[in-house]
């Protein structure tokens, strides 16, 4: 069976975004799980800020632009995968994200920092 033509079929914009969103959620969950004893940080504003910044940067880098509020939905899904989802925990998460957003704490990594990181990796590449 020849499956070479499968790679030539393009995904629709909605399928691409669905795939990217779910991949981003998995990446963020794995990144948070690398923190030792992350379960103890369920009510930490710093952890929520970390999740939001990861989402902001990954969505920007992968050009994901879904309907309004999709990043909040993604953050809720990530939080549900990491911790139990009691109504008061969900309310804490939503209020924390609104607080962080209103105080401009959720930021993308600056372009020059990305360039510097790339140049360091290229110039000081360990072989």
Reported as a single tens digit per residue, the pLDDT across 34-59 is 999 999 998 899 999 999 999 999 98
For residue range 59-96, list pLDDT tens digits in order: 888 888 878 888 999 999 999 999 877 888 889 999 99
More confident residue, 30 or 89: 30
pLDDT score of 48: 95
- The parent domain of residue 111 ranges over 11-123
Number of domains in the chain: 1
Is position 3 within any domain? Answer: no
Is position 2 within any domain? Answer: no
Is position 49 within any domain? Answer: yes
Mean pLDDT (whole number) for 96-112: 91
Q: Could you tell me the pTM of the whole model? A: 0.81
Is position 1 within any domain? Answer: no
Cα distance between residue 65 and residue 81, in whole Å: 23
The answer to whether residues 25 and 62 touch, using CB atoms and an 8 Å cutoff, is no
Give the number of other CB atoms < 10 A from CB of residue 36: 6
Is position 105 within any domain? Answer: yes
Element containing residue 88 per DSSP (H, E): helix 87-102
DSSP states of 11-64: PPHHHHHHHHHHHHHHHHHHHHHTSTTGGGGTT-HHHHHHHHHHHHHHHHHTT-
Is position 19 within any domain? Answer: yes
106: DSSP letter: -
Give the number of other CB atoms < 10 A from CB of residue 47: 19
pLDDT score of 32: 95
């Amino acid at each position: 069976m020849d499956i070479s033509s499968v790679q030539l079929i393009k995904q629709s914009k909605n399928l691409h975004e669905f795939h990217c969103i779910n991949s981003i959620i998995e990446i963020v969950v794995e990144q948070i799980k690398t923190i030792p004893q992350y379960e103890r940080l369920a009510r930490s504003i710093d952890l929520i800020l970390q999740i939001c910044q990861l989402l902001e940067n990954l969505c920007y880098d992968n050009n994901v632009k879904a309907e309004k509020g999709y990043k909040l939905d993604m953050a809720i899904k990530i939080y549900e995968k990491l911790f139990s989802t009691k109504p008061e925990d969900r309310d804490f998460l939503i209020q924390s994200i609104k607080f962080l957003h209103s105080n401009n704490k959720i930021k993308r990594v600056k372009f020059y920092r990305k360039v510097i990181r790339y140049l360091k990796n290229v110039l000081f590449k360990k072989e």
